[in-house]
Chain A
């Protein structure tokens, strides 16, 4: 399958490859690459920020309903992507996302008359939120495995040496899952890059605005421009391999990839 993509580049005495590189020079594709890199990095960082405390809590605590909470964390992984996008779209039709600044503090500024809904839906933030929704679930799953494998004894000894729970977590446990955090970040990044359904529903696929690499492939195929679609696909394949190798090098057994 992947070989076929590469062979396509060398078909017609290599003219396809030239056309592919020309396609990559277009401002639309450059904008798409730029937005993809930016949004994937932001959503991966956000995912780690949220996943670290949740994964640590789930891995180290026992409470009634833990299995239910654990299962809820997996919902973005098992739901059909389009449903996630639709659900986000509906969520943003409710308060507080529909509240305007003017409703509470009357002002003449134009921004004060826009709700959070208007700032997010079909805008760049929607791309990041759509990617984050799924990527965070993968990051939580990955980090939970890391925290479960961790020996808790050193952290407990740190308590007896004068650490608060947070200090012991930060100074003793967190440095031990460094490789897990890197692996979770790369996975979240890769998931964000491949995200399509939620982005299409929640952010749309507007050229030079909310178009990312996955939506570029869809738009180019829809307009019959196979060469550009293949070129963008190859960029994504290359990136996916880089991410896979990075995750494996930093080694974290039990990764959901």
Chain B
């Protein structure tokens, strides 16, 4: 589970104040908010890419507030996928496993299984610049999940995709997160997407998660 306690962030004239919410273990939570409301900043705070002014962040009851991004065990899928351009898709997927010194055989098997789950087996030898938007998002999702995270953060993964690809990826997201029993925080401004995927929805407005904005959609 992920838990934020009175988290405050300030950068120049932008601020997030008293963020106080939690996502129970294995749930798929959605954060909705307008463009510029600080959704991406919130994900970056959770990853450890931005420093907070005050407050605490707990991941599975462990205080991760001052931990480096590498020590937080959080999988992050940015809006633009941010694949590694000099590596092919197989290398992108196996990046975290290679870092953790898994054997070549283990890495190959894990990559193939993940590629089959995400229907990207035919892309393994290609490079990121040869992929479509939907394919890039699938690879970024696979890369994050293969790092074996305790929390998955998705930053508007469907926003730049056509309707058909959105539906495909929606199903893949739901299925993959359930299979891997991942606690997930998904940021979007699309209410249809939120209803389709989320177990609960939070609204980020004026730099705050407003009390009572949590809407539990499924038990």
Which residues of A are interface residues toward B (Cβ below 8 A)?
151, 153-154, 156-164, 167, 171-172, 175-176, 178
Contacts and interface: CB of A to CB of B under 8 A. Distances in A.
B157 interface: no
Given A161-B95, A171-B84, A171-B95, 7 more contacts: A151-B82, A156-B82, A161-B96, A161-B99, A162-B70, A163-B99, A167-B99
The 9 closest A-B pairs by CB, nearest first: A153-B82, A159-B69, A175-B86, A161-B96, A160-B76, A160-B69, A162-B99, A154-B82, A157-B82
Contacts of A159: 47-49, 68-70
B49 A156 contact: yes
B78 A157 contact: yes
Interface string B66-79: 00111010111010
A160 B45 CA distance: 12
Nearest to A178: B86
B63 interface: no
Counting chain B CB atoms within 10 Å of each CB, which of A158, A161, A162, A171 scores highest? A161
A160 B82 contact: no
Contacts of B57: none
Contacts, number: 59
A154 B49 CA distance: 12
Contacts of B95: 158, 161, 171
A15 to B, nearest CB: 54
B70 A163 contact: yes
A234 to B, nearest CB: 39
B122 interface: no
Nearest to B95: A161
Please classify how large the interface on chain B is, using the bins under 10, 10 to 19, 20 to 34, 35 or more: 20 to 34
A158 B78 CA distance: 12
Nearest to A172: B84
29 contacts: A153-B82, A154-B84, A156-B47, A156-B69, A157-B78, A158-B84, A158-B95, A159-B47, A159-B49, A159-B68, A160-B47, A160-B48, A160-B69, A160-B70, A160-B74, A160-B76, A160-B144, A161-B70, A161-B75, A161-B95, A162-B70, A162-B99, A162-B100, A162-B147, A163-B70, A167-B99, A171-B84, A175-B86, A176-B86
Contacts of B70: 159-164
Contacts of A163: 70, 99
Contacts of A171: 84, 95
A176 B147 contact: no
A175 B47 CA distance: 24
B80 interface: yes
Interface string B137-150: 00000011001000
B85 interface: yes
A159 to B, nearest CB: 4
A178 B47 CA distance: 29
B42 interface: no
A176 B85 CA distance: 7
Contacts of B74: 160
Nearest to B98: A171
A154 B85 contact: yes
Interface in B98-151: 99-100, 143-144, 147
B30 interface: no
Nearest to B80: A153
A160 B72 contact: yes
A156 B49 CA distance: 7
Contact of B78 (A153, A164, A176, A178): A153
A176 B48 CA distance: 24
A161 B143 contact: yes
B187 interface: no
B83 interface: yes
A162 B82 contact: no
Contacts of B143: 161
